[in-house]
Amino acid sequence: MNHSVWKQYIVPALVIAAASVIYALSFVWCYQPNGIAFGGLTGVAQIINRLIPAAPIGVTVIVMNVPLFLLGWKFIGGRLLVSSLYAMFLSSVAIDVLTPLYDWKPMDPMLACIFGGLLLGLSLGLVFLQGATTGGSDLLARLLKLRLTWLPMGRLLLGIDLAVILGVALTFRALEAALYGLVGLYISTIVIDGVLYGIDTAKVAYIISDKNDAISNAIVNGLDRGVTILPAKGGYTGADKNVLMCAFKQREIAAIKAAVKEIDPEAFLIVCNAHEVLGEGFRDYKKDDL
């Protein structure tokens, strides 16, 4: 099989399939048996059904998804539509398959929130990484991301689902279920952002020393990392100095610090967290990055 076909189509399809099963597991194991508010378009459909009993929940969810998928087709492209339909279909089938396989009994509500949020966040993060959604509020968040590019996906979902859960609580007067739902929602958004952005976590070091040449050579030749020289001036002395800036992976932090301090024990070293480092030695930029 052609390697590009495998990488472009087969692998994403397998990842989405696995994520759909995890999504279904979070619902049938943690959310549904414990009556925890789930948010999303399902929650909106529940509210509409309560206000208009003649509107079935399932049909209402489908009707609300139609304009979202049309917008997705227009602004994001057909690939998102096809992959999202695929993810939505698999997750729905997985829920129907898993539900009768085992007697999913209620557990401690807090455990259900924690593990439900972890599984839900993991599944959605994996789906988003493949350029897809599971429809509903996930697709809405993906569309909003086109405008609110500075907001992480997890935060966008948090805002949407938070409003839905609060609406469910007011409509059904189910305050406790809503509060547990908020805990699970918060955990899932942290996990989503961890999957989307945390895997790419790196560090940036700023080094101020009188032995810049030796430190720069040690990092470039010994650790195979690039160094940028930034001109600076001391605020107290007014003396001109150079600051070394170096981006590196989390696992290299001990080697960087050891190399700097071995050459100049008096060096001033600042290490900061960095996310989404793009370029040689890190991650390549993709047009549809979230």
Question: pLDDT value at position 229?
Answer: 92
Least confident span in 49-53, 79-83, 143-147, 283-287? 283-287
Q: Which of 31-40, 148-157, 262-271 has the highest mean pLDDT?
A: 262-271
Residue 150 above 90 pLDDT? no
Give strand pairing partners of 230.
243
Would you state the structure tokens that stand for residue 23, as one six-digit string? 């999504």
Cα–Cα distance for residue pair 105/233, rounded to 1 Å: 65
What one-character DSSP code corresponds to residue 290? Answer: -
Task: State the sign of the Cα–Cα–Cα–Cα dihedral 185, 57, 84, 149.
Answer: negative
Domain with CATH 3.30.70.120 in the chain: 202-274
Task: Indicate the pLDDT class of residue 162, thresholds 50, 70 and 90.
Answer: confident
pTM above threshold 0.75: no
Inter-CA distances, 50 with 61, 165, 171, Å: 14, 14, 8
283 pLDDT band, cuts 50/70/90, is: low
pLDDT of res. 199: 60
Q: Which has the minimum average pLDDT: 2-16, 21-35, 118-132, 184-198?
A: 2-16
Q: Which residues pair with 228 in a beta bridge?
A: 245
Between 169 and 210, where is the model more confident? 210
Mark out the alpha helices in 201-273 (DSSP H runs).
212-217, 253-263
pLDDT, greater one: 103 or 47: 103
- Collapse the DSSP code of 188 into the 3-class scheme (helix H, G, I; strand E, B; otherwise coil) and give the result: helix
35: left (phi over 0), alpha (psi -120 to 50) or beta: left
- The CATH number for 202-274, chosen from 3.30.160.70, 3.30.70.120, 1.25.40.10, 3.20.20.210, is 3.30.70.120
pLDDT, mean of residues 22-40:
84
- Relative to beta strand 240-249, strand 228-233 is antiparallel
Averaged over 121-139, what is the pLDDT? 84
Considering only CA atoms, which of 18, 16, 31, 15 is closest in space to residue 117? Answer: 31
pLDDT band (50, 70, 90) for residue 198: low
Q: Residue 235 — left, alpha, or beta (φ > 0 → left; ψ -120 to 50 → alpha)?
A: alpha
Q: In terms of pLDDT, which residue wins out, 290 or 103?
A: 103
Say whether pLDDT at 245 is over 90: yes
**In the block, residue with structure tokens 């948090």:** 158
Mean pLDDT for the chain overall: 82
Q: What is the mean pLDDT of residues 170-194?
A: 85
Model confidence at 285: pLDDT above 60: no
| 128 close to 58: Cβ distance less than 8 angstroms | no
- Give pLDDT, residue 91: 82
- Counted residue by residue, the chain has a size of 290
pLDDT of 29 > 80? The answer is yes
CA distance 150 to 147: 9
Structure tokens at 216: 């720069």
